[in-house]
Amino acid sequence: VDKLGISENIANMIVNKFKKDITKDLEDLESLIENQEKEAIAQKAHYIKNSCLNVALDDICELLQKLEKVDIEKIDSNKLFNEIKSKIKEIL
């Protein structure tokens, strides 16, 4: 709450929305990676990064930033995705 500079009620609302949406967002991203839809991967990674910024998950944001690079190889994107998914599961 202090890091975000908002009230506890607003923080709870933001965190609850994040928890509600993140599973579907990760499923969508995984599908895009499997299909190597590079532009869509970049867009979805950016969207998820903004969600993570809202809840101060800076380390995950750095990984998502790497996924935003359109020229990333499938092997690298799979590795990054698995790391992102693992870190998010740890906090849920």
- Structural domain includes residue 1: no
Query: Is 35 inside any structural domain?
Result: yes
Residue 11: what pLDDT?
A: 87
Residue 29 domain-assigned (yes or no) = yes
Residue 3 forms part of a structural domain: no
> How much of the chain exceeds pLDDT 90, in percent?
76
In whole angstroms, give the CA distance from residue 45 to residue 66.
9
- Number of independent structural domains in the chain: 1
pLDDT digits (tens, 9 = 90+) for 34-73: 999 999 999 999 999 999 999 999 999 999 999 998 787 8
Mean pLDDT taken over the chain: 92
Domain of residue 61 covers: 8-90
Residue 15 has pLDDT above 70, yes or no: yes
First to last CA, the chain: 17
| DSSP per position, 21-72 | HHHHHHHHHHHHHHTT-HHHHHHHHHHHHHHHHHTT-HHHHHHHHHHT-TT-
Q: Is residue 17 part of a domain?
A: yes
Please indicate, yes or no, if residue 71 is contained in any of the structural domains. yes
pTM here is 0.87
